[in-house]
Structures are given as C-alpha cells and as structure tokens.
Amino acid sequence: MVKILKAKKAHAFLLEISKKKQHDSFHKFMQTADIISIESRLDESLSLKFFLIKTIIGQQVSVKAAESIWLKVKTVLSNSPNNISLDLLRQQGLSTPKASYVQGIILDKKIQSLDKTSLKKLSDEDLSNLFLGIKGVGPWTLGIIRMFYIQDSNVFLKGDLAINKALGNFFNSVTFSGEDYSPYQTYLCLYLWRSLKS
C-alpha cells in the first residue's frame, strides 16, 4: 500500500511540475499515462551479485539480446558456481570484456558481503566509491543499481540512449538534467521510458 501511495504521489508531482515549468508536451503525456511504480521494475529474487551481472550484460545491447544472454549465464552460474571460466562465459554470448567483468564480480568477496539494507545506509558518494571501483561498473550501471536494487526514487540516468531519445521528444534537448523533478527523478525516467512504448 505504501509503495502504491508513493507511486501516486510521484505521478501527481510530475504532473504538477510539468505544468508549472511549462513542459507542455511532457505534461500532456503525463495526463494520460498510467501510474508506474519502481517496484514494477524490480526482481526481488536477485542477489546483488546476480543483479550486477544482469545489469552489466544489459549494457549497450538490446533488451531482447540481454535477456537471452542473461538466462544462459544465470543457468551456468546456478549449475557451476565454483567453476566459471572466461571461455564458459563467452560461450553464453558475452564479449571478452564483459566475460572478464562478470568473472571479476563472481570472485569479489566484498560484493557477496553486501545486502540491500546496508547499501541503503550509504551516501551517494560512498555508493559511487564502492561501485565505480568495480570493473565494468560505470555511472550508468551505478544509476541502475541505485534505481532498481536500492530503490532510490531520485536518480536521473544521464547518458541512457532511450532517456535521451525521450528527452529530445519532450524537452528538445538531450542535456536536460531532470533536476526540476527532484525528489522523483527515478519516476521521471520510468515515464520517459514508458513514453517510447506508447
């Protein structure tokens, strides 16, 4: 119930700000958009390790390709967790760099010691220092972790190709920062993504 209330509050806030800031095209879209919750995009079954691996697999590839590769990698990780070679990972469709990143995450004991509760207590700076030191994790991946693992409602995903496309459609600028929509920038991203499917 609390999650639904938060999603409704975010929707109302985006409607209000888009009108106030005269973001007319986005406001018109928000008037007809169904309410979206962050939780609708979560997979609560994934550990941080699996979430990181799935997110890295999804970097710069289509959603369909990423899902196909992820299912293969997940099966291998579940069946042979202690015997994951680069060759085995490449056989699942990963490029050599991504296979290396995934192997690094599998072997990283620090990642295995972290959980959602402890991560939620960290500042944005501490989260950046923690994750950006991991090979294969850049600002985009960190943003996805904050959005869909930690469930931070105020993340604007700069550099995301789909977000940039939607920004061009609504704001005539891919450099729009999203700051007008704080503290609900994650929801802004959710609606920008949704707009491309309508």
54/138 same-domain check: yes
- In this prediction the pTM is 0.90
Look up the CATH number of the domain holding residue 95.
1.10.340.30
57/144 same-domain check: yes
27/69 same-domain check: no
How far is 40 from 60, CA to CA, in rounded Å? 22
pLDDT value of position 198: 64
85/129 same-domain check: yes
pLDDT value of position 40: 83
Domain count, the chain: 2
pLDDT value of position 172: 87
| Domain range for 176 | 2-41+154-195
134/173 same-domain check: no
130/185 same-domain check: no
10-residue stretch averages of pLDDT, the chain, 198 residues long:
83 97 96 93 87 92 90 90 86 95 92 89 94 94 95 93 94 90 97 91
Q: Between the CA of residue 125 and those of 56, 88, 128, 132, 179, what are the distances in Å?
A: 21, 35, 5, 10, 18
